[in-house]
């Protein structure tokens, strides 16, 4: 298939399957916010509200309004979620709870800094859409709080005994490389540049191990390998997702060498993480080939696959490396034959190793309206750029 | 097969496969204690020491010494583990850490009260073997600490917001019904009887739901069903394991009605938890048939199956209910054709839904020297009693 044909597929899936699913099924008209625990048909099977997913869905509809079309319905849907979060989401110190009841009462304490990250993303994007200064303030205050907490993100809830085996985790620096561009219009240029520098350094110098061609999930404070369950852990999808964040930063800076490096790393992570036997990308692996702690290690997850498609396409767009296109077609074929549900819309999230649906749900505690629509949008736009580049460069035309 | 033939199988597996495996592979001759992260061959793949598993292994070898044969080698092996725990296992307040490095430095804080439960079990059993008063004191102090913490076992590490949806969890009352008999020789008779009463009440009146024939993992403080992920959770193996704890208490009290009730519940839990498609018992289910949170829900775990065999045999011994024997033969056939490793000894722990080995290990963070040897011993002795009963009652002879 040609890039322009793939482009149409991603665009249609976003606009005719995924967005209508969430718009039609997830709104809580009684208390505001969104239901995310939706079964195959989209029926609500649990009413708890997880702040990660509330924030991500606000972000998603605000982004669609800003980037795709200024539909009032999309904006209203984002605003009602943001108002629910604004009213119920934070404790007295401005930390975001992990989860709330349907009514908005706090259920789980603010132990998880990613609740804050996705809230900041949401209010930043919604400020772009509305110009509402209050949303800007919430995004700014939350971002400042994240930076303040970043050296000890778990705080009180950290179960590690101090000093015995302190480790740095990949997730926060990785998310910051994406979040910072989302908030570009709201933060001081010097903070912006410092955060970008620190993020690129962490991802590409500290957690990336050139001798392995892989990204580790946890390293020592000195940046060394830790021969422990945490230190040996590889989450291929995490690394693969981070590569398009890095490519976006590199593109912004015109850093071709960094794009090349992120593209190479995309390919080596994918070769490592691909299941030769059943296809798809493993969820977790142990870098020394030992049994990982995670019992779900061999499962195939929606976000891992869609994020990989984005990185492959961005790598192809920027470098023209044909290996990216070959891998894109292979991962696309696996992904589209396993995850989407053409009957009821949206995508399944969790497959077993063999590729069968493990949980018959479209959303839950961790899967909401985020990776699939964001990924479809990113693939659509990147394929569009690839198609334009090819038509402007006839020798490359397919 | 006759009960006496099964008996021989369980006895031989314990004495010629499982015990030699741990005795030969798991001792840390440098720092004391045990390695539990052992791969298929029994090679150490991680050196962290998890206090649950250290305590459980001390208990296991002390129990074997007390119950099977007074082998000095077994006692020495238990003592060296207990000395490691005594030296390194507790914080200043006598709470047991969750994990330690190989050398004994604390890694993970004492957030988990089951570390204390298994330490108390270990030192109680080892006191029986040695008469060492220091071991008795550690067991008694730890048990008192558990009772003190039981209304708020997670303490500081509880992430639930106070008051919104307080739930009671099944695990601690369940473990206490077993622990209390292990410590019978060390605790005040009044505390013993009160703890037994409270345990039976919790398991058989509060968490057991007669309308479902099932045991819930979490209920409200008022003993009601909570329609939430936690409230809907069923862990069939947990319920099945608890039934032989209850039968042991009922036998001690001569309470035939309670034995009958626990036997019926064993059968209904098993019918509910059995995978009709692939065989084996599911790890987690949602009582309303919704997708559970646990991605590992459909896996088949070693402890679930061996604990079920014990409850079925005890139910059969005490009631003569032939359904117990039929189910025993069915679960036995599944268990013995999937978990044991005749090549390298011991049993695999984690199978996928289809029954293939998911993690090629004999021990890890959660699997150690405990359920398999305890279960083999319990089945052996129960089968022996069944065989004796049959030979004393010729009409029942098989």
Q: What pLDDT is recorded for position B155? A: 87
Where residue A261 sits, what CATH number does that domain have? 1.50.10.10
The Cα angle at residue A248 between residues A244 and A251, in degrees rounded to 5: 130
- If pLDDT is split at 50, 70 and 90, which confidence band does A341 have? very high
From the list B106, B160, B292, the residue facing A161 with the nearest CB is B106
User: Considering only alpha carbons, which residue of chain A is nearest residue B358?
Assistant: A295
From the list B97, B160, B360, the residue facing A108 with the nearest CB is B160
- Cα–Cα distance between A6 and A12 in angstroms, integer? 10
Our CA-based measurement puts residue B40 at a distance from the nearest CA of chain A, in whole angstroms, of: 10
Whole-number mean pLDDT of chain A? 96
Count of CB atoms situated within 10 Å of the CB of B207: 23
Q: What pLDDT is recorded for position B395? A: 63
Please count the CA atoms within 13 angstroms of the CA of B1 that sit on its side-chain side. 14
The secondary structure of A185-252 as a DSSP string is TTS-HHHHHHHHHHHHHIIIIIIEETTTTEE-SEEETTS----SHHHHEE-HHHHHHHHHHHHHHHHH
- If pLDDT is split at 50, 70 and 90, which confidence band does B396 have? low
What residues have CB less than 8 Å from B179, skipping those under 6 apart? B117, B120, B121, B143, B146
Average pLDDT over residues B201-214: 96
Which residues of chain B make contact with A39, given a CB cutoff of 8 A? 290-291
Give strand pairing partners of B179: none
Q: What pLDDT is recorded for position A151? A: 86
Coil, strand or helix at B82:
helix
pLDDT, one tens digit per residue, over A2-48 is: 999 999 999 999 999 999 999 999 999 999 999 999 999 999 999 99
Q: What pLDDT is recorded for position A262? A: 98
pLDDT, one tens digit per residue, over B55-102 is: 999 999 999 999 999 999 999 999 999 999 999 999 999 999 999 999
- If pLDDT is split at 50, 70 and 90, which confidence band does A395 have? low
CA nearest B218: which of B140, B267, B160?
B160
pLDDT, one tens digit per residue, over A148-191 is: 999 888 888 899 999 999 999 999 999 999 999 999 999 999 99
Phi and psi torsions of A355, nearest 5°: 100, 5
Position A306 pLDDT exceeds 80: yes
User: Considering only alpha carbons, which residue of chain A is nearest residue B163?
Assistant: A107
B interface residues, A as partner, C-beta within 8 Å:
37, 39, 45-46, 48, 97-98, 101, 105-109, 111, 156-157, 159-161, 164-165, 228-229, 288, 290-293, 295-299, 350, 352-353, 358-361, 364-365
Give strand pairing partners of A274: A281
Binary contact (A160, B109; C-beta < 8 A):
yes
Average pLDDT over residues A302-328: 98
Our CA-based measurement puts residue A298 at a distance from the nearest CA of chain B, in whole angstroms, of: 8
Average pLDDT over residues A351-357: 98
- If pLDDT is split at 50, 70 and 90, which confidence band does B394 have? low
Binary contact (B48, A228; C-beta < 8 A):
yes
User: Considering only alpha carbons, which residue of chain B is nearest residue A285?
Assistant: B359
Cβ atoms of B369 and B363 closer than 8 Å: yes
Which residues of chain B make contact with A229, given a CB cutoff of 8 A? 46, 48, 365
Q: Which of A221-225, A236-240, B153-157 has the lowest mean pLDDT?
A: B153-157
Position A128 pLDDT exceeds 60: yes
Position A78 pLDDT exceeds 90: yes
Total structural domains within chain A: 1
Average pLDDT over residues B34-46: 98
Binary contact (B159, A361; C-beta < 8 A):
no
Whole-number mean pLDDT of chain B? 96
| Alpha-helical regions (H) of chain B | 3-12, 19-25, 51-67, 72-88, 113-130, 133-149, 171-182, 189-201, 229-232, 236-253, 256-273, 302-319, 322-338, 371-392
Interhelix angle A133-149/A72-88, nearest 10 degrees: 50
Domain span at B306 = 3-396
- If pLDDT is split at 50, 70 and 90, which confidence band does B243 have? very high
- If pLDDT is split at 50, 70 and 90, which confidence band does B393 have? confident
- Cα–Cα distance between A333 and A305 in angstroms, integer? 11
Q: So what's the ipTM on this one?
A: 0.96
A interface residues, B as partner, C-beta within 8 Å:
37, 39, 45-46, 48, 97-98, 101, 105-109, 111, 156-157, 159-161, 164-165, 228-229, 288, 290-293, 295-299, 350, 352-353, 358-361, 364-365
- Cα–Cα distance between A163 and A221 in angstroms, integer? 11
- If pLDDT is split at 50, 70 and 90, which confidence band does B156 have? confident
- If pLDDT is split at 50, 70 and 90, which confidence band does B250 have? very high
Average pLDDT over residues A195-207: 96
Our CA-based measurement puts residue A218 at a distance from the nearest CA of chain B, in whole angstroms, of: 15
Q: What pLDDT is recorded for position A233? A: 98
Which residues of chain A make contact with B45, given a CB cutoff of 8 A? 288, 290-291
Average pLDDT over residues B107-122: 97
Query: Burial of B187 by CB count in 10 Å (0-12 exposed, 13-18 middle, 19+ buried)?
Result: buried
- As a three-state string, the secondary structure of A115-158 is HHHHHHHHHHHHHHHHCCHHHHHHHHHHHHHHHHHCCCCCHHHC
Position A261 pLDDT exceeds 60: yes
Give the length of chain B: 398
């Amino acid at each position: 298939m040609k890039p322009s044909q793939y482009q149409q597929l991603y665009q249609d899936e976003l606009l005719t399957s995924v967005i209508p699913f969430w718009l039609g099924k997830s709104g809580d008209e009684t208390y505001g916010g969104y239901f995310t625990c939706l079964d195959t048909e989209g029926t609500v099977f649990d009413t708890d509200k997880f702040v990660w997913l509330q924030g991500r869905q606000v972000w998603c509809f605000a982004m669609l309004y800003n980037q795709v079309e200024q539909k009032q319905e999309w904006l209203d849907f984002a605003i009602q979620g943001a108002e629910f979060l604004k009213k119920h989401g934070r404790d007295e110190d401005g930390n975001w709870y992990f989860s709330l009841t349907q009514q908005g009462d706090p259920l789980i304490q603010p132990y998880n800094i990613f609740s804050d990250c996705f809230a900041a993303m949401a209010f930043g994007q919604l400020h772009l859409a509305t110009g509402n200064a209050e949303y800007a303030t919430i995004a700014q205050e939350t971002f400042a709080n994240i930076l303040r907490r970043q050296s000890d993100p778990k705080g009180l809830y950290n179960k590690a005994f101090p000093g015995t085996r302190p480790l740095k985790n990949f997730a926060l620096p990785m998310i910051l490389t994406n979040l910072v561009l989302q908030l570009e219009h709201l933060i001081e240029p010097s903070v912006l540049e410092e955060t970008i520098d620190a993020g690129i350094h962490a991802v590409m110098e500290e957690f990336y191990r050139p001798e392995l061609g892989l990204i580790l999930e946890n390293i020592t404070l000195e940046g060394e390998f830790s021969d422990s369950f945490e230190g040996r852990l590889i989450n291929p999808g995490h690394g693969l997702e981070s590569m398009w964040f890095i490519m976006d930063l590199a593109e912004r800076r015109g850093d071709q060498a960094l794009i090349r490096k992120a593209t190479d790393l995309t390919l080596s992570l994918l070769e490592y993480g691909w299941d030769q036997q059943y296809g798809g990308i493993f969820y977790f692996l142990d870098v020394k080939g030992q049994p990982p702690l995670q019992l779900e290690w061999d499962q195939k997850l929606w976000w891992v696959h869609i994020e990989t498609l984005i990185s492959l396409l961005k790598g192809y767009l920027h470098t023209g490396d044909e290996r990216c296109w070959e891998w894109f077609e292979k991962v696309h074929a696996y992904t589209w034959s396993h995850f989407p549900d053409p009957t009821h819309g949206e995508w399944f999230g969790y497959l077993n190793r063999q590729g069968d649906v493990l949980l018959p749900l479209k959303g839950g505690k961790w899967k909401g309206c985020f990776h699939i629509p964001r990924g479809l949008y990113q693939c659509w736009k990147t394929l569009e750029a690839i198609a334009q580049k090819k038509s402007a460069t006839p020798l490359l035309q397919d």
